Homo-oligomer: A and B are copies of this chain.
Amino acid sequence: MARIAGSSGPRTEEAIRRAGLSLIATHGYAAMSLRQLAAEVGIQQGSLYNYFRNKQEFLFDLIRGHMLDLHAALDAALLPEGSAEARLTRFTEFHVAYHVERPQEVFICYSELRSLEPDNLAAVVAMRRDYERKLGEILDDGRATGEFHLADTRMATLAILAMLSGICTWYKPGGRLSTDGLQEIFTGMVLALARGETQALARGEAAETVAVPARRRGALRAGIG
């Protein structure tokens, strides 16, 4: 990635941001060296410190910035009123579109929580709780009105978010499905899940206990040492 010599602060900052997102999403925060990052941007490693105080702060800025964007975008997209089904549909459409639009940032926000120092982690977790709460309220409302039949709205919240957020682990631009197509398919699945009401039927048919066998022995390379 060649670079025009000379000063160009804002452009450099944006280039660092983009290169960082890409490198962290691909290799992980701990595995990305600042030398790699600088090379990708086309500057020297020491110059990075004009843009952050240390590597941890860089990660936190990326994640916090994304969370702020996400919340602002969600608040703008959500329906303030309407049926729970309509609101859940809107939530799902938004969530899918956002994940398709910025898969790297979303992925990092899940996968690099472990790399945040305690204070930074706490700040991000609080924002994430808030996001979960907004979905949880829709599900609770829908259960109260009888639109949804969920055994456990907290589990449903986690299940729906995991299902939708999984998109950023496999989505590639230019794939078989458009954003619209993905929204329609996932909206259908989420609504079906929330409407539920048929939980008990099939379970009796296969309700023997499913045991998980014990771990194999000698897991590490046999024959060494």
B-binding residues in A (CB < 8 A) = 9-10, 13, 16-17, 26-28, 30-31, 50-53, 57-58, 61-62, 65, 68-69, 72-73, 76-77, 79, 82-83, 85-90, 93-94, 97-98, 101-102, 111, 114-115, 150-152, 155-156, 158-163, 165-166, 169-170, 177, 182-189, 191-203, 205-207, 210-213, 215-216, 218-221, 224-225
Contacts and interface: CB of A to CB of B under 8 A. Distances in A.
B79 A115 contact: no
A26 B88 CA distance: 33
Contact of A111 (B79, B111, B184): B111
Contacts of A185: 151-152, 155
Lowest 9 A-B CB distances belong to which pairs?
Answer: A162-B166, A188-B199, A30-B30, A85-B202, A30-B31, A163-B163, A50-B225, A65-B219, A192-B196
A218 B162 contact: no
A51 B219 contact: no
Query: How many monomers of this chain does the complex have?
Result: 2
Give chain A's interface secondary structure class. helix
Nearest to A20: B220
A212 B97 contact: yes
A170 to B, nearest CB: 6
A199 B206 contact: no
Contacts of A203: 89, 184, 187-188
A51 B199 contact: no
Contacts of A225: 9, 50-51
A152 B181 CA distance: 10
A225 B88 CA distance: 44
A221 B53 contact: yes
B192 A224 contact: no
B188 A73 contact: no
A126 to B, nearest CB: 16
